[in-house]
Amino acid sequence: MWPILNKLLRNTGLPFDYEFIQAPGQGIALSRQAVEKGYNLVIAVGGDGTVNEVANGLIDENGKGRAILGIIAAGTQNDIAHMLGIPRDYIRGCQLFEKFEMLTIDIGAVSYTSHNKIIQRHYINTAGVGFVSDVIESSIPQTKYKVLGGAVPYAIGLMPKVLEYQNKDILLSIDGEKRIERDFSIVINNGRYLGGGRVFPNATPCDGLLDVAIIGNITKLEALLNFPLFYTGTHIDRQKVKLQKARSVIIDSPQRLPIQLDGELVGETPAVFRIIPSALDVVTRNPQFKIKRQGHSN
């Protein structure tokens, strides 16, 4: 797609240079280099994983963005783009940069364990442990389901994994309130979406809070029956799904518990999740959030 995208972007009058990400993690390094060279707008072309890497390269050690993040949605899952009202159609997505609006959003921050080291990383939309992380680790749902897009086909692709999944013993602390429980999954979002589904219908990335969903010790039958409801956001009145706002969440487990950030596995618990308010300027086209300002940037 790049030759077409390149031409479309040139037609907007936006002067730019570009680099290709050749390996996982390189997006972080490339966006850091862009900031060091003085670029004040960095556009990620790809899906949620690519956007996450580029955003992490733009955020400094204090959790504040050093450049504006733009997105052209070109991945299998584009939940971050969807959250910001960015068109999935790449022609309209490129035209967005002719005269764009900017929004300052909160960013999720997490410290976790990877290869016996404590790692710090940020995320824009979603994080969590439990079922979804196990699914990502086992490479399910398969591509044939993912390319269909939307919440219900994605949920269908996940269902075979439900039959073999075992709920996890979790040590949980939400804003200092500690408890021990057995859960199916815990989702810690900054935005509304997860895997194409609108898990948090009323979430906003501009309120200075995380949105937490705790799916309790449900049975396999309950998971199969209610999973599509969770992905379409109609779960909020269900007894075994608890929703709450939080500024920080701490998770540990006696079992191995992988962590996903924006749909990619990064490490394991113990982990601390927190919100950084008003951390990053992003290009948006979403009327539901308050717009910061307009611009056309080099």
**Ordered domains of the chain (ranges, CATH):** 2-105+279-295 (3.40.50.10330), 108-277 (2.60.200.40)
- pLDDT, tens digit (0-9, with 9 covering 90-100), for 267-285: 999 999 999 999 999 999 7
pLDDT at 156: 59
Residue 63 Rama label (left phi>0; alpha psi -120 to 50; beta): left
Q: Give residue 240's pLDDT band: very low, low, confident or very high (50, 70, 90).
A: confident
Nearest to 58 by CA among 90, 34, 75: 34
pLDDT at 292: 53
Query: In whole angstroms, what is the distance from residue 70 CA to residue 260 CA?
Result: 22
Q: For residue 280, give every residue at least 6 positions away whose Cβ sits within 8 Å of its Cβ, in sequence order, or none.
A: 55, 58, 59, 64, 65, 69, 104, 105, 107, 124
Query: In whole angstroms, what is the distance from residue 184 CA to residue 214 CA?
Result: 8
- pLDDT, tens digit (0-9, with 9 covering 90-100), for 16-56: 999 999 998 999 999 999 999 999 999 999 999 999 999 99
* pLDDT exceeds 60 at position 141: no
pLDDT at 296: 47
Distances (CA, A) of 297 to 38, 275, 294: 12, 28, 10
Average predicted confidence (pLDDT) for the chain: 87
Structure-derived torsion over alpha carbons of residues 199, 205, 206, 211, reported in degrees to the nearest 10: 50
Query: In whole angstroms, what is the distance from residue 69 CA to residue 44 CA?
Result: 7
Nearest to 269 by CA among 99, 57, 118: 118
pLDDT at 198: 83
- Is the entire prediction scored with pTM above 0.75? yes
Q: What mean pLDDT is predicted for residues 63-92?
A: 91
Nearest to 191 by CA among 263, 135, 140, 258: 263
Q: For residue 201, give every residue at least 6 positions away whose Cβ sits within 8 Å of its Cβ, in sequence order, or none.
A: 192, 233, 236
The answer to whether the CB of 125 falls within 8 A of the CB of 211 is no
Query: In whole angstroms, what is the distance from residue 195 CA to residue 173 CA?
Result: 25
- pLDDT, tens digit (0-9, with 9 covering 90-100), for 170-179: 999 999 999 9
Q: For residue 239, give every residue at least 6 positions away whose Cβ sits within 8 Å of its Cβ, in sequence order, or none.
A: none
